[in-house]
Structure 1
Amino acid sequence: MSQSPTTAPAEQPWANPLRDPRDLRLPRIAGPCGIVIFGVTGDLSRKKLLPAIYDLANRGLLPPSFGLTGFARRDWTEDHFIEFVRENVMAHCRTTFREDTFRQLASGIRFVQGSFDDPAAFARLSDTVSELDRQRGTRGNHAFYMSVPPRAFPVVSRQLADCGLAKSADGAWRRVIIEKPFGHDLTSARELDRVVSEVFDPSSVFRIDHYLGKETVQNLLALRFANMMYEPIWNANYVDHVQITMAEDIGVAGRAGYYDGIGAARDVIQNHLLQLMALTAMEEPVSFAAADLTAEKTKVLSAIRLPRDLAAHTARGQYAAGWQGSEEVCGYLDEAGIDPDSTTETYAAIRLDVDTRRWAGVPFYLRCGKRLGKRVTEIAVVFKRAPHLPFESTATRELGKNAIVIRVQPDEGVTMRFGAKVPGGTAMEVRDVSMDFSYGRSFTEGSPEAYERLILDVLLGEPPLFPTTREVELSWEILDPIEEFWSTLGQPQPYRAGTWGPAEADEMLARDGRHWRMP
């Protein structure tokens, strides 16, 4: 695990005075530090970042010597910005709003007005950071959160370098947090990495994939490696195929400027779904330190093989008008801000194979889309049928394949599907039943938001949940040939809003003698 000079190694928790060596279960508490958010007035900041920072403070995981600085073009006073933070925290925080917690947080809140191309604004930001060091005791430790479009990353990085904020002395740390997308193809991802790495040390660059901060995604590792009953059957001898689904029931309203030209595959498959696939398929790591986790995920991504026939084993679609529940909704091409001739896909499905001994012959099907039947993200490991069933054929006609389904959202948990005898009667009749584990029903502790976990990890300098440069590059190497092929096809196949995607997605699995799960 890469560490900054002031971050205690994981194996020496006593080096952190806030941790008691007699009880390693104590919460991880950030040391003195500050965070600067660029794009602080945007949706991500309002709905996720500011509430997450408040929730961390409310849980006692941020120190009294913490500073929060917002950078935006708005001509606001500091008091105006503090009220903006209060409104959004109250609207979106997960924990109970407490006035004393907010007052403590607000005493360290600052605001800098300016644009990204204004050196004077960054000089004011440098003065603000120095003032927080003196008055709040942040000790020169600062993270810079780029909640901005990728095209702004280079200019912000260079401005931070020019005003002296990218580097710190006297053992303090400076870190940069980059939101996806990490480029729009392999070439742009490498250029983005080059520009950011010129300013920040590579070990100080944290790429946020918020799915990796979700409790259920981390529970996948516990499910596999803390239990003897699953790992022995987690291979090609027993697994028929794996389906990874991220379905949304919303359209692109409000995000047309970002989404059109990007599409479902670049938006979701390149990062979220390939990361979930890597965690599902990887070998047991030596430890859960960043380097060991990354090594195993990288092996999976390196071993992924594209289908030989992209026409037969990929599918894309674009939602048309239909009904989302009881609401009639418009099609993608009728959304405000969308080019009526757009060929951007709102649904994408692909088959991938992993050329390793564990997974040889097991297809992984990844799908994502907007305006689908409901909002759900899940990983379904579907097992082969039993080689012999000593029952009458009529007794098992409704029996499907066994499956373990990890539900990432919204109802986090794990479901096991297996065959059981129907009660009553003298005949043996077997049907599918489900055994369900739900986080909400099994634990009294509430699950923190993904951004709480990830922001705290950045402040602690602990990078296990953040994709590395190599992982990002490998993901683009997988997706780029598919995108290049799709670019020759013209308009995606339409599907009605509220359904589960285009017909060609069903045909894709039917060619393999399989069908999509109904979540």
Structure 2
Amino acid sequence: MRPAKITAEHNPLRDPLDLRLPRIAGPCGLVIFGVTGDLSRKKLMPAVYDLANRGLLPPGFALTGFARRDWADEDFAQVVHDAVKQHARTPFREETWQQLAEGIRFVQGSFDDPEAFEELRRTVETLDAERGTGGNHAFYLSVPPSAFPLVCEQLSASGLSRSEPDAWRRVVIEKPFGHDLESAQELDSVVSQVFEPESVFRIDHYLGKETVQNILALRFANQMFEPLWNSGYVDHVQITMAEDIGIGGRASYYDGVGAARDVIQNHLLQLLALVAMEEPVNFDAAALRAEKIKVLSSVRLPRDLSRHTARGQYAAAWQGGEQVVGFLEEEGFNPDSTTETYAAVRLDIDNRRWAGVPFYLRSGKRLGRRVTEVAVVFKKAPHLPFETSLTSDLGSNALVIRVQPDEGVTLRFGAKVPGTAMEVRDVTMDFGYGHSFTESSPEAYERLILDVLLGDPPLFPTREEVELSWKILDPVIDHWAGKGRPEPYPSGSWGPPSADAMMARDGRTWRRP
């Protein structure tokens, strides 16, 4: 006897007053290329289950895997089951699993095998008939960027990419979107020949994080911040993505890519755009896209990149109580590699709001701790009616948006020290998601996959945004080319000395989160 179908109305985990993910996908299916990879196992499959568990997928939803493995449908279902049990955010429920498992299929094949894509087409058509997916299918390319063109061409040749008037076909592309402007344009040319622009979804998982979206709420829902959000009050902005882990096991991907291409070109420039953009007329895709494009078009690099950029490679040292190897000693790396594991750059924005306010972006591996944050550092008060000795411990006011791992917002300001003297020191006021809300935030991929199935693109970078980001970063990469190895820095530190010198030239220092 089959278990009863779970709908959004009858799912006990689905609170009708929960407004975080209120929209439910219509009849559809998802095809994942690269289902044997870590991304699929740790993020995509669990996200699909969590959406089903919350009643946000249709009862007839179909999940199809495509890979070289010699698996039957049941073998792939077991892989999904194990991934869900290990990595899902919501509790495992047998009813949800049985409903999801009925729509799981697997197609064996390689990307250069036309017959495998014909078999995939037949599988999709069968799912339309058996599961009622209505011809609506999204193709998730969880594969190396070099495979994007071939997969797209095979989808086109087999007719899988063709949308019908009453049915849609969409493609999801993981970063990186090329390795420079030229390759990004070439990739877009291939994809655009197969899918319409509105059917292409470029995944930047950082844009799905609750705290990244909270930047918009913080700015535009509160009168207290926006009047200060300009060059009259802001001294500078620091955007940091630091990791305390090394590259171990990712040599084939990371070597030749580096921190600037891996993080700054996408995650950090997207954060910059959200922090610096003007208020959109509303929060639909077109309005958000217009404001982000305007601000990215206004970004300029300093003239002397040797003074306002820094790069480094982590070296062997003690970190977290253990001895770790340096980047060049990691397995699979060329000992003469010039790939950077730390990158920092100063950017300026040529518009009325931000003229004269530098934005400092940095990212690195094997740094002091894992943290991603945006720090808006305000100018000091023009006059302090206190004795200098009583304000010696007073720094600049700062608003810090913590993206991960301790999601929240911290406000740093001066307050009087208890006692008879008027001594002022820095204190912090802290908001944490875990303390203020009982609801757990959806995973970024959970939100983004649902948006793909709904055809809702606000959280996905457009072609114009990707190309503008490469136009910003390409001169930095070109400047570093041919300059030999990046400067070494000890694992567990906060980067190379040149990064501190870069800030010191502007009379500023990096935050130590």
Partner of 1:16: none
Partner of 1:5: none
2:409 to 400, 408, 414: 414
Q: Structure 2 matches for 1:15-414, cutoff 5 A?
A: 27-414=22-409
CA contact (8 A) 2:21 2:447 kept: no
Q: Aligned partners of 1:251, 1:475: CA distance in 2, in Å?
A: 25
Partner of 2:447: 453
CA contact (8 A) 2:393 2:426 kept: yes
> 4+ residue runs of structure 1 moved beyond 4 angstroms?
21-26
Structure 1 residue 488: deviation in Å? 2.5
Q: Aligned partners of 1:441, 1:118: CA distance in 2, in Å?
A: 52
CA contact (8 A) 2:135 2:168 kept: yes
Partner of 1:518: 512
Per-residue CA deviation, residues 411-452 of structure 1 (Å, 9 max, x unaligned), is 1000000000111x2101100000000001100110010000
Q: Aligned partners of 2:179, 2:104: CA distance in 1, in Å?
A: 34
Change (3 A) 1:106 1:23: closer
| Alignment of 1:501 onto 2:495 | yes
- Identical columns (%): 75
2:430 to 411, 431, 436: 436
Per-residue CA deviation, residues 269-319 of structure 1 (Å, 9 max, x unaligned), is 000000000000000001101010010000111000101110000000000
Unaligned runs of 5+ in 1: 1-20
Q: Aligned partners of 2:18, 2:457: CA distance in 1, in Å?
A: 23
Q: Aligned partners of 2:305, 2:245: CA distance in 1, in Å?
A: 28
What is the number of residues matched between the two proteins? Answer: 500
Q: Aligned partners of 2:221, 2:303: CA distance in 1, in Å?
A: 37
Structure 2 residue identity aligned to 1:232: P
Q: Aligned partners of 1:426, 1:372: CA distance in 2, in Å?
A: 42
Partner of 1:466: 460
Structure 2 residue identity aligned to 1:500: W
3-state SS in 2 of match to 1:177? strand
3-state SS in 1 of match to 2:32? strand
Structure 1 residue 168: deviation in Å? 2.6
Structure 1 residue identity aligned to 2:216: L
TM-score, scaled to structure 2:
0.96
Unaligned runs of 5+ in 2: 1-15
Partner of 1:485: 479
Structure 2 residue identity aligned to 1:508: M
3-state SS in 2 of match to 1:194? helix
2:420 to 423, 426, 431: 426
CA contact (8 A) 2:307 2:502 kept: yes
CA contact (8 A) 2:391 2:424 kept: yes
Structure 1 residue identity aligned to 2:243: E
Per-residue CA deviation, residues 30-76 of structure 1 (Å, 9 max, x unaligned), is 00000000001101000000000000001110010100000000111
Per-residue CA deviation, residues 57-112 of structure 1 (Å, 9 max, x unaligned), is 01110010100000000111111111111111111001111111111101000000
Structure 2 residue identity aligned to 1:89: V
Q: Aligned partners of 1:339, 1:153: CA distance in 2, in Å?
A: 26
Change (3 A) 1:26 1:278: closer
Change (3 A) 1:111 1:436: same
Q: Aligned partners of 2:361, 2:164: CA distance in 1, in Å?
A: 46
Q: Aligned partners of 2:354, 2:443: CA distance in 1, in Å?
A: 32
